[in-house]
Amino acid sequence: MQSPRYALVPAPGDTARHVLALCKDVAGLFAEPARPARVRYELRGCEPRGELARAVTQAVVEGTAPLGTLVVDLHGTGWALAETRVLGMRGDVVTVEAAGAPHRVHHPPDPVPCGNLIRVTPAAPEEETHTDVTFVGCSPRGELRDALDAGAADFREVRYQGLTRIGNGHHEGEAGRITGWDASARHHGLVDLTLSFPRTRLLPPATGEIWDLFWRDRPAEPGTWRRFTGAARGEWLDRAAAHGPYGTLELLPGATYHLDGTDIVDEDSFRCALGEAVLGPGRCFRTAAGATGTAAIGAELSGATVVWHHADVARACLGALPYRGRRPATFRELVDELTDAGVRLVLD
């Protein structure tokens, strides 16, 4: 198949090792994802310590206590619970509530030892937690092709990959069971595959727009990143970085670059705007392994002059918003990291 946009692949633990289908398009994937349902768990045979011990003490007094991400060690395997709230403790059983199911983590730092993790909240029926997503114009392969040829009405759980125009994978996620198939009305000789897809794994519509913009090449129109806000700008940066440095403008020693700060309201918009100002539309700085943040970008720009127009916008916004988890950088921190790296910064 020429230039497929998606691939269906075996789920983790599946004995199959090959691509199950290549597909030209998808319908229903890009919609606002559902928030994970709150689920109650019991940590049995638990030894509270650190932040969990503090939260247990608070919950005993106040009835509940926020904790954030909780990582437990179950017989040598780490499992993480997101957005956790401690509800109480009785004997060696700690009761918590978390967002969705636990996910496995490798080599977690200082996990809490527990004998077992038991889900107390009953599982919701699939019709409440899943929706139909159709991969359009698919060419089945291997076991999936054999199953369809044999008249199977469904197929086991799979995952999906988003592909670039040249066939490289740029995204992979849980897809669910294949629940139906039919001859494709849009693509002769191919089939449309319908999957029971987790609502929490749907992707925001802006993600689909960004994937389309980067499908053939980078967006050539300056300022295209401004269409997107919030988390979508992080997706924009991921796609810009994934295209690599090919065709990037050469950084000239002592050059002067003009940074339009009109829409710089957070770190992602700062990186979008600076990447475009220095490297060209649809581009961003890719830091070397082990290097992070603005200091690494400053090292690449050392000796250059950056004129930051409308810097007052960033001065008012950066670092000022409420946050959860890692604190966003302030305007002064970004300025200091650039200048400490040898960038001459002119705030206009």
* Contact assessment for residue 209 and residue 191, using Cβ atoms and an 8 Å cutoff: no
pTM, full prediction: 0.84
H or E element in which residue 247 lies: none
Q: What is the pLDDT of residue 291?
A: 44
Q: What is the pLDDT of residue 325?
A: 52
Per-residue model confidence as pLDDT tens digits over 178-221: 999 999 999 999 999 999 999 999 999 999 999 999 998 899 99
Q: Which residue has the higher pLDDT, 2 or 259?
A: 259
* Contact assessment for residue 273 and residue 297, using Cβ atoms and an 8 Å cutoff: no
Tell me the mean pLDDT in the region 296-300.
90
For 15, 80, 98, 254, the CA distances from 103, given in Å and listed in that order, are 21, 5, 12, 49
Q: 3-class SS at 244?
A: coil
Strand partners, 344: 305
Nearest in space to 196 (alpha carbons), one of 135, 255, 132: 132
Nearest in space to 330 (alpha carbons), one of 341, 338, 340, 320: 320
Per-residue model confidence as pLDDT tens digits over 238-288: 999 888 777 677 888 899 999 999 999 998 999 999 999 999 999 998 765
DSSP 305-338: EEEEETHHHHHHHTTTS--SSSPPPPHHHHHHHH
**Percent of the chain whose pLDDT exceeds 90:** 76
| Among the ranges given (54-58, 104-108, 228-232), the one the predictor scored with the smallest mean pLDDT | 104-108
1, pLDDT greater than 90: no
Per-residue model confidence as pLDDT tens digits over 133-168: 999 999 999 999 999 999 998 999 999 999 998 888
> Hunting for tokens 């919701």 — which residue is that?
124
| DSSP tally for the chain: helices H, then strands E | 9, 15
Mean pLDDT, rounded, of the chain: 91
Q: 3-class SS at 212?
A: helix
Q: What is the pLDDT of residue 62?
A: 94
